[in-house]
Amino acid sequence: REVKNTGERRICKWCMKYKPDRCHHCRVCKTCVLKMDHHCPWIMNCVGWGNHKFFFLVVVYAATTCTFIFFTVLESVAASVDK
């Protein structure tokens, strides 16, 4: 529904621009974002239509790195405890 019941196009009340379906205004970025999921402070941007993949990759890479570091530290701690 890109038009109101009256037949007029929808306009964002914050930025006063045309607002298509599935578009939401982010108050942090001060812009309308298509298919906005949330505003992420880690990437300092809104997660929306153009960057779902990149946000998912950031989360996967962070989890992989944390797992690698955990097992590396675990091996070092086990070696120092055995001494």
d(CA 4, CA 19): 11
**Other CB atoms closer than 10 Å to residue 47's CB: what's the count?**
20
> Of the residues 12, 26, 29, 40, which is catalytic?
40
d(CA 35, CA 33): 6
Is 40 labeled as catalytic in the residue annotation?
yes
d(CA 71, CA 36): 36
The residues annotated with a catalytic role in the active site are: 40
